[in-house]
Amino acid sequence: MQIFEFQLPPELQSSIEFIRKEIVNLKENYQPKEPTTYLTRQEVAKLLSVDISSVHNFSKKGLLQKYMIGGRCLYIRSEVEKSIVKINN
């Protein structure tokens, strides 16, 4: 029985190698996008262990970004978490 070896053209080989590298790179760096989670003022207050009035004051000072829909005030959880800053003592 005779086995035939098939040689791919060089440009096709380089294209296949490029695709392989891109797939490996994608596997290493892929981060699935998480859905946006919205919080009410009460939920933000509970998360930060503060009063609702403090949440209001943080919003007025620009420390927290609030969003309005239908008369409701909402906050994006990831933004609230990013607003917490580390203090170096």
Residue 75, pLDDT score: 98
Angle value at C-alpha 79, between 38 and 89, nearest 5 degrees: 140
Check if the beta carbon of residue 37 is closer than 8 Å to that of residue 78. yes
pLDDT for 27-52, tens place per residue?
888 877 888 999 999 999 999 999 99
CA count, 13 A, side-chain hemisphere, 58: 19
Angle value at C-alpha 37, between 88 and 39, nearest 5 degrees: 75
What residue segments make up the domains of the chain, in order of their start?
A: 38-82
Residues above pLDDT 90, as percent of the chain: 63
Statement: residue 60 has pLDDT above 90: yes
- CA pair distance 24, 21, nearest whole angstrom: 5
What average pLDDT score do residues 10-21 get?
A: 88
Q: What are phi and psi of 69, to 5 degrees?
A: -150, 125
Residue 10, pLDDT score: 82
Check if the beta carbon of residue 78 is closer than 8 Å to that of residue 36. yes
pLDDT for 75-89, tens place per residue?
999 999 999 887 776
Over the chain, what is the mean pLDDT? 89
